[in-house]
Structure 1
Amino acid sequence: MNEWSVVGVLVVVVGLFLSVGAPVIRLNSTITKLSTLVEGLRDRQVQQEQNNSDSHRRIWKHNEEQDAVLNDHETRITILERK
């Protein structure tokens, strides 16, 4: 092998590294960004589930209070109708 073939091989190796390495580096940064976004979405989902549970609990408590008031009114109406 002479010097020019060694230089040619080095140029091919550097070209191969650049053609494969650049997309890999971009892919790595994209994966990092996506991982960060997914973690944020997961945290927001957990918070949303907690808020939904609290909201449902308040709605059911209010519903039960209204049922008690409605039953009381029904009892009073029944007593008045019997008199």
Structure 2
Amino acid sequence: MNEWNVVGVLVVVAGLFLSVGAPVIRLNSTLTKLSTLVEGLQDRQARQERDNTDSHRRLWKHNDGQDAALHDHETRITILERKEGTR
């Protein structure tokens, strides 16, 4: 093999590296960005689930209060109806 063959092989190897290496580097940076975005989405989802849990807890507490008020009203109406019936 003479010197020019070695130079030709080196040029081909460098071209192969550039043609394969550049897309791999872009792919790596894209994967890094996607990974960062997914982590952000996971954090948002976890925060939203905590907020939903708190909201549901408050709603159920309010609902229980409404149930107690409704029961009280039903009792009062029943008493009033009994008084009307005895007249």
TM range (shorter): over 0.9
Q: Which runs of 5+ in 2 are unaligned?
A: none
In structure 2, the residue matched to 1:81 is 81
Q: What SS does the aligned partner of 1:13 have?
A: helix
Give the TM-score taking structure 2 as reference length. 0.94
What code does the residue aligned with 1:70 have?
L
Shift of 1:45: 0.3
Deviations 1:10-29 (A, max 9, x none): 00000000001000000000
**Counterpart for residue 51 of structure 2:** 51
| 1:41-72 Cα deviation digits (max 9, x unpaired) | 00000000000000001011101100100100
Match of 1:25 in 2: 25
- Alpha-carbon distance in 1 for matches of 2:23, 2:62: 58
Separation (CA, whole Å) in 1 of partners of 2:62 and 2:37 = 37
Residue-pair matches, total:
83
TM-score by length of 1: 0.98
Matching residue's letter, 1:69: A
| Matches of 1:70 and 1:6, distance apart in 2 | 93
Specify the code of the residue in structure 2 equivalent to 1:7: V
Q: Could you list the structure 1 runs, at least 4 aligned residues long, displaced by more than 3 angstroms after superposition.
A: none
Separation in 1, partners of 2:39, 2:6: 48
Contiguous gaps of at least 5 residues in structure 1:
none
Shift of residue 32 of structure 1?
0.4
